[in-house]
Amino acid sequence: MLYSNENKNFPPPISVETVSTRVNKTGLWRFLTPVRKEKISPCRSHCPLESGIPRWMNKVKEGNWEEAWQIMREYNPFPAIIGYVCYQFCVEKCSRALYDEPIAIGEVEKEIGLWRHKNYEHKNSIPEREKSKKVVIVGSGPAGLSCAFYLNMLGVSVTILEKLPVAGGLLATGIPEYRLPRDILKKELEILKAEGIVIKTDYEVGKDDLPNLQDNFDAVLLAVGAQESKPLRIKGEDLSGVTGGVEFLRDLHLGKLKEVEGRVIVIGGGNAAVDAACAAKRNGAEEVTLLYRRGEEEMPAHPHEIKAAVEAGVNFIFQTVVEEIIGESKVQKVRAGKTALSCRGEEINVLAGTEFYLDCNLIIAAAGQESKLSEVAPSFPGEPLIFAAGDAVSGPSTVAGAIFSGREAALNLFSMLEHGKESNESFQIASPLNGKEEIVSFESLNSTLYSRQKRFDQPQEEAGRCFNCGLCSKCGVCWIFCPDLSVDGLSGDFEFLLDYCKGCGICVTECPTGVLTMEEVVSDEA
Amino acid sequence: MKRKLMNGNQAAALAVKLARVQVVSAYPITPQTTIVEDLADMWARGTFPGEYVSVESEYSAMAYLIGAAYAGARSFTATSCQGLAYMHELLHWASGARLPIVMVNVNRSMGAPWSLEPDQTDSLSQRDTGWIQIYCADVQEILDTILLSFRLAEESRIPCMVVYDGFSLSHTYEAVEPPEQEQVDAFLPLPPGEAAINPSNPQNIQAVTDSRYLSRVRQELHLTMEKVPEAIKKMENEFYKIFGRSYPLVESIGLDDAETVIVTAGSMGQTVKSVLPSLSSVHSKKGFLRFRLFRPLPDEDIAALLGNAQIKKVLVIDRNLSAGAGGIFAQELSALLQGTSFQGEIFQLNLSGGVDLTPDLLNKALEKIEGAEKSRDKIIWGVDL
Amino acid sequence: MFNTQVGDFSREEFMSSGHNACAGCGPALAVRFLMKAMGPRVVVVITASCWSIISGVVPLRSLETVVMHCPFPSAAATGSGVKKGLEALGDLQTQVVVLAGDGGTFDIGLQGLSGAAERNEDILFVCYDNEAYMNTGMQKSSATPYGSRSTTTPDPMLKTNPKKDIMKIMAAHRIPYAATATIAFPEDLISKFKRALETKGLRFLHLFTPCPQGWGSPTDKTVELSRLAVMTRLFPLIEVEDGEKYTINYLPEEHVPIEKYLNPQRRFRSLDQEEVALIQEQVNRDWEKMCKLTAQ
């Protein structure tokens, strides 16, 4: 051949290149770097349990119920219960609400709970291990049960003492059966017992019992709830036929009260008042009237509850206060007055000359509850090894709030009892948020990747609608749309290959969950 | 061997067939058209087994061949004047990419105005495109040169342009000895049997370069070009053994004792050669030199022939023009004779526009230079005589 | 429901990182998808365009196949020649893909493309359209849209003529397969590449590939703008078979106003409301015409 090379240091007589561009580290061009940092979803930020909803949604979407449950229990050990009773503040904030229809979060959560009930097997649940520490929990409401669950999982021996003949607290004696079927609670209690938790009912703890408990256990948790209705502090309150909302519901559930007769007046505007009104109506009351001192807009009861009450036939009278209960030995009527329109927190002004009378046979005072904590432990806080959780501390809240409180108590107790000891690595408990976390906005999501789609009945399909806000769902969109091949598509974790990333930000803009952000990152070399 | 009467274009088409060309793409232009018509005809009748593609322009014809040659196929096209100019950027590309394409250019005047006359400025304008250029003087030479060109192009990986005059060769019938296929196969290796590219061997061919790299590419092209004259000589020896004919790089007659030398290229060489004996009887002794290989310039061969103190005058007949500088062969010649023992004067007879070289015209031109001492700055225009 | 499912894509890449495309380059992404769809069965002929650089400068290469560069107007002819050469040498398997920008397709390459289309050469011609000569710094091409600024249609003399309708031109050649696609719809794009590979004869793909540098759009908006071009009905995703059978592959769920597409781009910043309304009308008319074509 004529073209044998004259220039020995120059291989081709023509330009034929074979070296991969990978030697060219285009990452040096970058001034902003994509960072994958999980953020808080709006639903989670409004969940009393701070539940990692997008995480377990993602697992349900994959049909992996086992892992969905394992994630769920980091936040909530009783998803079936919460699925039934929670008011679902999460749904109100669901990003999908701004797109088509919010995710049916409670429905999916309930399904995880029901899956757990169906698939529960003791041997698969927690590892057997020697339990060196013992804790006693007073009260078997949601806070107490939650704390018991977590402590037990962490390897602490737990005994629950319940003063009533049934366990479950408000779950058993406060929440109407139509909101929480009792076999759901029964199943949860069964599971807890099977896991080794001892529940003793009809066991009331008074302040004199405390020293004894302190001696026999490493710690005491008081989760006695807020089970006493607040007094009305008006004339005639002592008459027969006047009862509290919590007490009324408890008596009904325990069978002490079989039926309700005549006209019933319920005083109060919270969930307990509405529950009591409904229960009275369902149990035979001729007429049930709920009196609330402010306007309809201000009613603290959840709209679902109010709707259920209206459907049950409860009358509502707003801007009305009862000033006196009238009767001889037994209530006969009340004297009431109209009030000026006011907001919660403002003082109530009764308008002169608006006085009127209502006849009645039963008055249910459901204007607030209080705790007996101070009676059980007069010098709490301050006593060694005594803790408290749930409504007993916070005042009446929600079931979810109580479960959260129990979870927090378990974490605190465990770190006190076993300080320095690592918890079981296969079992995690979510720590409370500090309120400073970034919450994903709808605008930071790339919702355009989804078609508009209303709710599905089937939970797995419905979970597939979840935007997984703030979570890396491993969807791979960052990898798909990277013009610089600087996302590793082979590993499955879609790690950024910063040697090549030019920092264009397409991955961040295209990310459907908002888990990515562009940040100024100073490299180690610099 | 049987001799056949054929014109230049027929000879070219026959050579392409005998060379077992694999891809032909072409666009018609007078006076080249009958080459591609003949090839199309052979292709349609199945006697030309290669691919024949009738494209929509000369530009695409050359682009097509660049593609085919990238793939490794032996490829050919033919064109003329405007068509060649239209290909211009691709000619650079083909040589830069070292693609062994062979092309016939049939000389025709560049417009404007329109003309069909055989001016050489079309091919000479492509002087710097990095192609080998060979100018033919008769029909047999056309056929033989095309066969040689495929071997030359493939061995040097430099594209090769075979050039001859429109009509006076393209359409003029001469007796030709057509070679046998076995002879051609003995001289010219069979075309490539497999593709030069394969996706499993990733390459980035003719990517953007820097100046130093590109300068090396250019240097390599030049260094290979410099080896071409010797290579042709060797190939001509082989050619002679097989076909009984061969051609020198530069054709010459009577230079040993000539005082006046007539220099030209292409079919005009035939004219000059035929009248040379009668010319020599008048005034001084005449010699003859014909540029056959033009690029690479066989400067050493020409310098050896003309670097001779007894030569007083050289008349270069250029049927081409670089306006403002004169005839192109004349310029090339005067440049290459610098530093040799040539001491004569160079005169120019310019026939640009395709003016026919008649013995009468040549005589008149010779008379003009006979008395002149220095005429370097003066062109004798054929059209004035 | 989720339009871009990672499971649908091959994880294998036939393009290397480290290439020299600008940050947020649409054409780089388009060719990455192209190579994914093609796999290792193709050779690529690239004409003068951004991809002359992205494919690697000496001594590098960014594609895992043979790439051959060619002069600006010659893309279709060179590609056809490569295919014919391979066939002549007995390689009937390897496909040839020609990669040209809008300049190399709509403008300087149109004659060669038309010729190749008329001859029905067996190549896949891919035009990646970033609506101007971007490799040389945003000079106007006949693919530059009405009202766009470019360095050769500077303020206040913005481009006054609409973009050439290249799909109609190609359809008029009755080629077996022509389609439009864009990077925001990778499944559609990849399926069209695959379909094109399965078709014999000249296949034409018109890819809409935003250029943040030229368009004056944020680098992260490249995919979003591609999506908006489809959502606003400016760039319908269509297929044309044998120059006759038109199909619209994606019907936008709702009517997105053209401003949403125009506003993030600095090249359109001089447009007034009236001109935007004109563009919207043109988009509406074109869409109606397209709908009629598909109905036939």
The secondary element (H helix, E strand) that includes residue B182 is helix B181-187
Of the given ranges (B364-378, C34-48, C55-69, C126-140), which has the lowest mean pLDDT?
B364-378
Residue-level pLDDT at C1: 39
Q: Which of B202, B216, B221 is closest, CB to CB, to A10?
A: B216
Structural contact between residues B75 and C85, judged by C-beta atoms closer than 8 angstroms: yes
**Domains of chain C (ranges plus CATH)?**
6-295 (3.40.50.970)
pLDDT tens digits for range A455-493: 999 999 999 999 999 999 888 999 999 999 999 988 888
Q: What is the mean pLDDT of residues A226-243?
A: 89
Looking at the fold, whether A355 and A318 belong to one and the same domain comes out as yes
Residue B372 scores a pLDDT above 80: no
Q: What is the mean pLDDT of residues A119-130?
A: 68
Q: Do B64 and C55 touch (CB under 8 A)?
A: no
- Kindly calculate the radius of gyration of chain B based on its CA atoms and give it in whole angstroms: 21
Phi (first) and psi of residue B35, to 5 degrees: -60, -55
The CA distance from C280 to C265, in Å, is: 16
Q: Work out the minimum CA distance from B21 to partner chain A, whole angstroms.
A: 20
Looking at the fold, whether A200 and A151 belong to one and the same domain comes out as yes
Q: Work out the minimum CA distance from B220 to partner chain A, whole angstroms.
A: 6
Window 194-223 of A, Cβ < 8 Å to B? none
Buried b (16+ CB within 10 A) or exposed e, A136-162: bbbbbbbbbbbbbbbbbbbbbbbbbbb
Q: Is A31 on the interface with B (CB under 8 A)?
A: no
Write the burial class of residue B374 (CB in 10 Å: 0-12 exposed, 13-18 middle, 19+ buried).
Answer: exposed
Q: Do C61 and A486 touch (CB under 8 A)?
A: no
Q: What is the mean pLDDT of residues B87-106?
A: 97
Confidence of residue A371 (pLDDT cuts 50, 70, 90): confident
Count the neighbouring beta carbons within 10 Å of the beta carbon of residue C63: 30
Q: Is A130 on the interface with B (CB under 8 A)?
A: no
Residue-level pLDDT at A375: 82
Residue C15 scores a pLDDT above 50: yes
Q: What is the mean pLDDT of residues A198-225?
A: 90
Q: Do C221 and A449 touch (CB under 8 A)?
A: no
- Tokens representing B31 are 């006076």
Q: Which of C2, C18, C29 is closest, CB to CB, to A26?
A: C18
Looking at the fold, whether A336 and A247 belong to one and the same domain comes out as yes
- Tokens representing B203 are 């390459």
Residue C287 scores a pLDDT above 60: yes
CATH code of the region B4-243: 3.40.50.970
Amino acid in position B321: L
Residue A426 scores a pLDDT above 80: no
Q: What is the mean pLDDT of residues B281-310?
A: 91
Query: Whole domain around residue A481: which residue ranges?
Result: 21-38+473-519
Looking at the fold, whether A86 and A169 belong to one and the same domain comes out as no
Looking at the fold, whether A80 and A111 belong to one and the same domain comes out as yes
Is residue A526 a part of any domain in this protein?
A: no
The CA distance from A88 to A91, in Å, is: 6
CATH class of B251-384: alpha beta
Confidence of residue A425 (pLDDT cuts 50, 70, 90): low
Residue-level pLDDT at A1: 59
Residue-level pLDDT at A123: 58
Is residue A405 a part of any domain in this protein?
A: yes
Window 76-95 of C, Cβ < 8 Å to B? 76-91, 94
Q: What is the mean pLDDT of residues C229-246?
A: 96
Is residue A431 a part of any domain in this protein?
A: no
Where is the domain boundary, A350, A368, A386?
A368
Q: What is the mean pLDDT of residues C55-65?
A: 93
Q: What is the mean pLDDT of chain C?
A: 94
Q: Give me the torsion for CA of A116, A118, A121, A126, rounded to 10°.
A: 10
Residue-level pLDDT at A372: 83
Looking at the fold, whether A308 and A378 belong to one and the same domain comes out as no
Q: What is the mean pLDDT of residues A205-221?
A: 88
The CA distance from A493 to C247, in Å, is: 38
Residues of B in contact with C64 (CB under 8 A): 202
Looking at the fold, whether A170 and A289 belong to one and the same domain comes out as no
Looking at the fold, whether A403 and A509 belong to one and the same domain comes out as no
Residue B264 scores a pLDDT above 90: yes
Structural contact between residues B81 and B122, judged by C-beta atoms closer than 8 angstroms: yes
Give the C-alpha distances (Å, rounded to integers) separating C88 from A409, B59, B191. 81, 21, 10
pLDDT greater at residue A369 or residue B265 = B265
Structural contact between residues B181 and B18, judged by C-beta atoms closer than 8 angstroms: yes
Q: Do C19 and A24 touch (CB under 8 A)?
A: yes
Confidence of residue C254 (pLDDT cuts 50, 70, 90): confident
Chain B residue with minimum CA distance to A19 = B203
pLDDT greater at residue A357 or residue A383 = A357
Q: Do B228 and A2 touch (CB under 8 A)?
A: yes
Q: Do A453 and C56 touch (CB under 8 A)?
A: no
Confidence of residue A384 (pLDDT cuts 50, 70, 90): confident
Q: Do A17 and B220 touch (CB under 8 A)?
A: no
Write the burial class of residue C255 (CB in 10 Å: 0-12 exposed, 13-18 middle, 19+ buried).
Answer: exposed
pLDDT tens digits for range B138-182: 999 999 999 999 999 999 999 999 999 999 999 999 999 999 999
Residue B376 scores a pLDDT above 60: no
Q: Work out the minimum CA distance from B89 to partner chain A, whole angstroms.
A: 17
Q: Tell me the longest C-alpha to C-alpha distance in chain A.
A: 128
Q: What is the mean pLDDT of residues A121-132?
A: 66
Q: Which of A5, A13, A17 is closest, CB to CB, to B203?
A: A17
Looking at the fold, whether A354 and A241 belong to one and the same domain comes out as yes
Residue B367 scores a pLDDT above 60: yes
Chains with ≥3 CB–CB distances under 8 Å to A? B, C
Looking at the fold, whether A293 and A330 belong to one and the same domain comes out as yes
Structural contact between residues A38 and A514, judged by C-beta atoms closer than 8 angstroms: no
Residue-level pLDDT at A510: 95
Domain range annotation of chain B: 4-243, 251-384
Structural contact between residues A512 and A477, judged by C-beta atoms closer than 8 angstroms: yes
Q: Are strands B203-205 and A16-17 parallel, antiparallel or unpaired?
A: antiparallel
First CA to last CA distance, chain A: 52
Is residue A483 a part of any domain in this protein?
A: yes
Of the given ranges (A138-152, A411-425, C269-283), which has the lowest mean pLDDT?
A411-425
Looking at the fold, whether A152 and A56 belong to one and the same domain comes out as no
Residue-level pLDDT at A526: 43
The CA distance from B146 to B103, in Å, is: 9
Q: Do A509 and C28 touch (CB under 8 A)?
A: no
Question: Residue A519: helix, strand or coil by DSSP?
Answer: strand
Matching fold, domains B4-243 and B251-384: yes
Residue-level pLDDT at C195: 95
Residue B193 scores a pLDDT above 60: yes
Amino acid in position B326: G
Q: Given phi > 0 = left and psi -120 to 50 = alpha, else beta, which region is C293?
A: alpha
pLDDT greater at residue B110 or residue A153 = B110
Q: What is the mean pLDDT of residues A341-356?
A: 88
Residues of C in contact with A483 (CB under 8 A): 21, 24-26, 28-29, 32, 222
Q: Is B204 on the interface with C (CB under 8 A)?
A: yes
Q: Is A350 on the interface with C (CB under 8 A)?
A: no
Q: How many domains does chain A have?
A: 4
Which residues neighbour A133 within 8 Å (Cβ) at sequence distance 6 or greater?
A: A155, A156, A157, A218, A219, A417, A418
The CA distance from C103 to C106, in Å, is: 6
Confidence of residue C40 (pLDDT cuts 50, 70, 90): confident
Structural contact between residues A222 and A207, judged by C-beta atoms closer than 8 angstroms: no
Residue-level pLDDT at A394: 85
Is residue A427 a part of any domain in this protein?
A: no
Q: What is the mean pLDDT of chain A?
A: 89
Q: What is the mean pLDDT of chain B?
A: 94
